[in-house]
Amino acid sequence: MDLDDLLGRDGFGLLPVVPGRRRPVLGAHVVEIGHPTRWVPPGWVLLTTGLRLGSPADCRELVAELAAGDLAALGFGIGIVHDTVPAALVDEARRRELPLFAVPEATPFREIVRAVDAAVLDRDRDVFRRTAAITDTLTGLLDGPVPQQSLVHGLARALRCGVALHRPDGSVLAADPASGRAGAAERWTRFRGLAITGPPVEVVDADGLFAAAVRPRGELRAWLVAGASRGSVPVPLIVRAVALVARLLGGLAAAADDDALRRRADRAAELHRLVAGDPAPGPDAGTHGPPADRPRTVLVLAAGTALADAERTLDALRVPYLLGEVDGSVVAVVGEDVPAPGPPVAGAAGAPPVAGAAGGLPVAGSAGVAAGAPLGPGHRDARLAARHAALTGGGPVRAGDLGVLDRMVLEIGEERTAELARPLLAPLAPPLVETVRVWLAHRQDVPATARALHVHPNSVRHRLGRVQALVGDLRDPAVLAGIYLALLTGG
């Protein structure tokens, strides 16, 4: 019921004195004592015969209090204490825009109170029925393939309004099809300018904007924002529906977090078991990673790669994988569906190349594992490849591309190899070391080396002659092997 409904009620004969805007009437109460707003809440109608109104000042004081208390209206009974509505009461009501109506002597206050109570009860009963129906509809959407989106769309249909789910930064996670992202952006702009008043619905404005936070385990994860017309659906129903969907979305987020933690732990446990060669698999073995009866690839990711970042990248690929930290490195096992690591990517000026990528992952070293073969040897080879990438400043490195000398250095250890080989380069000045490094990198091609060093080929030959005079015959495989090892270990 609203004020116009009450004033138009047949048989009451209520006479509007000061009209007001159409607004809901939440209740009615008779008060004849001072300070009536102690007993009459906002949105209610106060009924009085003016028993205590002995002066114009008393009239103005009463109206001021009722207006400040946001009452719906003042109903003044005439013919009992006052024959007409006091002029001061009318003037002050007009000044403060408080609706005022006269109640004829033949209309008992109790009948007005009873009529308002019955209308409010009918409204609440209708809200309850509609809330129950909406609750059944919305909770039924949890079984759908995309429950988050289904809840947003279902709320929009139930309230006949625009609804969107936003990340805390305002980006849209889901929006109703009718208003779309444009409507979501417009509502978010309005939402940002409003004060947060508290749960269950944390923002409600006069223009019909309703917002509730999605807080799984107390963490703000998203905002559910609806723009509903107050005239089309009762406000209590809107509040309950928006709060319900926010709670359901929070439950979905919490459940997804639990599932993600469980999957993360299962993948890491399976990875450690396979790397260690554990012959006793757990009950869920093989349910997360790529199938063992098909070729697999072990990836050791570049130093500094965050486990969470690698997980997001692999989840986006939608392929089976294992992931975890092994011996201080982030290790992934993927199948044939993930592209092999690419070439090194140039870093900033003066910086070494960074590791290439497999499916978007920053890879330092990789090793293939044949179908049905154990994973442990592949992990060891991938670690050697990653150490080689770190040693040379390049990447990524495939274990199958490592030469015998490279493997020997990596197996023996760089420090010990450097200790044995580095004295071979001690007699050489830096320009000679750089010349022989480029010469070996260009497969002992003198013209190619000269072009890389921007010098004449004769200059390269002269420098190589000096190198040979200081360290030995460069045609001797043993001398060349020693120089290569010295350069490989930082010479």
Question: How many CB atoms are closer than 10 A to CB 69?
Answer: 18
Q: Provide the sign of the torsion angle of the four alpha carbons 213, 216, 222, 227, taken in this order.
A: negative
CA 174/CA 180 separation, integer angstroms:
9
Question: In the predicted model, what is the mean pLDDT of residues 17-21?
Answer: 86
Closest CA to 276 of 371, 368, 379, 366: 379
pLDDT score for 437: 85
Question: In the predicted model, what is the mean pLDDT of residues 271-282?
Answer: 77
What are the pLDDT digits (tens) for 418-445? 665 667 777 888 888 888 888 888 888 9
List every span in the chain annotated with CATH 3.40.1390.20: 3-117
Question: Looking only at Cα atoms, what is the longest distance across the chain?
Answer: 129
What are the pLDDT digits (tens) for 389-421? 776 666 678 877 776 666 666 666 556 656 656
Residues 428/433/439/442 CA torsion (nearest 10 deg) = 160
pLDDT score for 486: 74
Q: How far is CA 190 from the centre of its chain?
A: 21
- What does CATH list as the number for 415-488? 1.10.10.2840
What are the pLDDT digits (tens) for 68-125? 999 999 999 999 999 999 999 999 999 999 999 999 999 999 999 999 988 877 766 6
Task: Choose the weakest-confidence range: 46-55, 92-101, 122-131, 206-215.
Answer: 122-131
List every span in the chain annotated with CATH 3.30.450.40: 144-254
pLDDT score for 347: 35
CB 396 within 8 A of CB 332: no
Which residues partner with 363 through β-bridges?
A: 301
The answer to pTM > 0.75 is: no
pLDDT of 50 > 60? The answer is yes
Lookup: tokens for 408 = 């020997």
Cis preceding-peptide flag for 216 (omega within 30 of 0)? no
CA 257/CA 264 separation, integer angstroms:
10
Q: How far is CA 169 from the centre of its chain?
A: 9
At the top level of CATH, the class of 3-117 is: alpha beta
CB 310 within 8 A of CB 331: no
CA 259/CA 257 separation, integer angstroms:
5
List every span in the chain annotated with CATH 1.10.10.2840: 415-488
Strands 329-334, 321-326: pairing kind: antiparallel
The pair phi, psi for residue 353, each rounded to 5°, is -60, 155
Q: How far is CA 71 from the centre of its chain?
A: 42
67 backbone φψ class: left, alpha, beta (φ>0; ψ -120 to 50): alpha
pLDDT score for 203: 65
Write the DSSP string, 111-180: HHHHHHHHHHHHHHHHHHHHHHHHHHHHHHGGGSSSHHHHHHHHHHHHHTSEEEEE-TTS-EEEE-TTTH
pLDDT of 274 > 60? The answer is yes
At the top level of CATH, the class of 144-254 is: alpha beta
What are the pLDDT digits (tens) for 298-353? 999 988 889 888 888 888 888 889 999 998 889 999 987 776 665 544 333 333 33
Cis preceding-peptide flag for 200 (omega within 30 of 0)? yes
pLDDT score for 351: 32
Q: Provide the sign of the torsion angle of the four alpha carbons 448, 454, 458, 463, taken in this order.
A: negative
Q: Which residues lie below 8 Å from residue 111, measured CB to CB, with a gap of 6+?
A: 12
Lookup: tokens for 412 = 């023996």
Closest CA to 92 of 17, 16, 13: 17
Task: Give the DSSP H/E element, type plus range, for residue 203.
Answer: strand 203-204
